[in-house]
Structure 1
Amino acid sequence: MTASLPGGADERSPQVWQSLLSGIHTQLQASASACGCAQSEENTPAPALMHERLRQCLDALAQLQPLLDREFERLHQMERLAREAQAALTSARAELACTQDGERRARHLALHDALTALPNRRFFIERLTHATALLEAGEPARLAVIYLDLDDFKPVNDAYGHDIGDEMLKVVARRLDRRVRSEDMVSRLGGDEFACLRCGPVSRPELSRLARKLYETIAAPMQIGNLRLRVRPSIGIAVHPADGSTAATLMRSADAAMYAAKRSRAGHVFFAKAGEMRRDAMHADAPAPQRDPDDRAAGAVPA
């Protein structure tokens, strides 16, 4: 019988090698004993020589055993260190992912309005600044800022409370976001002020049509609980580069045009450097926001 690895055994396993060495040792001992018996019976030199060689093998195996034991121990330590390193790496990756996810959430919160989830003023200015930096002087109009303010929004809060006012702002935000193109940005600047950044080739007729759509979208009756309310915006428009070449000047121009629209109840107004705003008279006789007249039980919002 000869010593061999068990079928399917992993030759790197210390237990397998220890079993193999033990088997060899046992077989060599048996062979040495057999040779000793043969020598005593036949009294010939050949069995004596074989007996001596087998004993030398046994001595070599005895010396090899502690060396292998130390090697197996070193292997065990390396495997343990590898497992610990893998566990540490997995933990570090998880912590990094959590940190990155936390940073993304923190940046999202820093750049978005908590009430409406729209980009906030900071995000809007960042995007506008980046967009103006990409445009060269003398280029045709390829960017416009549309500034919106809800007319007489304060009476809504005064009459029905801030919860209803907040719900109205959420409805306005959703309507604006659905009305513009995906490549445009809608932002809540604060309070009842919103803005739209229109990128790409723009013309006065196109912007005027967009402003009318935004006006009609916001002015449509909205149902909030058992209240049916309406609110109307004033809209100011500034175009790059005619009305400003930087984010700051475009925002000031659009804001000035919006206030001109509010004073004249014009719906929307284009900014003009000469101080006389270019106005599109739209819904000039629009009343202050009120409950829809069909809602008989509601009454009117105080002016």
Structure 2
Amino acid sequence: MSHTGTPSLKVKDLSVTYGEFQALKSLSLSVKKGELVGVIGPNGAGKTSFIKALCGRVGSTGQIFVAGQPLKRGQDRRRKIGLVPQDIGLYPQLTARENLDVIARLLGVKSDKRVQGIEQALEAVGLTSKGSSLIQDLSGGMKRRINVAAAIMHDPAIVIFDEPTAGVDIPARDELHRLARRQAELGKAVILVTHELKEAETLCDKILLLLDGQKLAFDSALSILSQQFGKTRNVILRFASSPSPETLEAMRSFKFERSDSDEVWIATTRLSEPAFMTGLIETLKDQTDTVREISIRRPGLTALMHHVEAEKGLIV
């Protein structure tokens, strides 16, 4: 749910160059209060350069505005932008509260606001009861939640989650995504850099798709996918076990391709082609014992990324 008013983040013609190589090329966009934006793209697309430019960790050209105020070159941006890094940026032999206190002091948070900010942050990530625990004694998922607390305790306008779920288990990943959504609901502009495409599709209000340093798309996942694939749909066949050679031969005319296992096969059709499903069901009528499921779905961000990597661009 987005809010109206001055954008929390606005970038105009933002570019990052390393020697002769231009990693980010004239990127312009606006992120409103309460918006959660997923940043996706192949390796080398410019995602890291974009985040580093926002945080002032790399030289850039162009303009960056936070809550309508321009960020100046060399300005300390940590008070305005909270960063949740991919790595655990905490001292293992200090407690959670001690870590947050050290970070708050480095940020210049005044003493009268430090305690309140730390306690609110611990509560926000559901770890008030672990405030006195040493970081080294916490689980990996808890450490990442303390990472989030460190990024939000000084109440920044923008919170960046930079691939925070890399290498974590599914419950920890889901919790981090829930925290990102919660920050947006509290009115923050939230940026999530992620390779979790299925989750980004349902979690994010908008998707920023980068390729070779350029913005390919910036819109809701539904709008991007509708423009890209139109009425094209994926038909997914799930078998109880690997299909027999006879079944594979029967499927050949429908151009099914193996997915991530021998039991899952995917083909493409259009909503205007009902004969596809009629013919498929007729073809497989003698295989009902082995077919577990036939489903139809719109191609998602994973399919979009496969296309972008193969074609170096979009259809539209």
The TM-score range, normalised by the shorter chain, is under 0.3
Q: TM-score, normalised by structure 2?
A: 0.21
Q: Which has the bigger relative contact order, CA under 8 A and spacing at least 6?
A: 2
**Higher strand proportion:** 2
Q: TM-score, normalised by structure 1?
A: 0.22
Specify which structure has the higher proportion of helix: 1
Instruction: Point out the structure with max Rg over C-alpha.
Output: 1
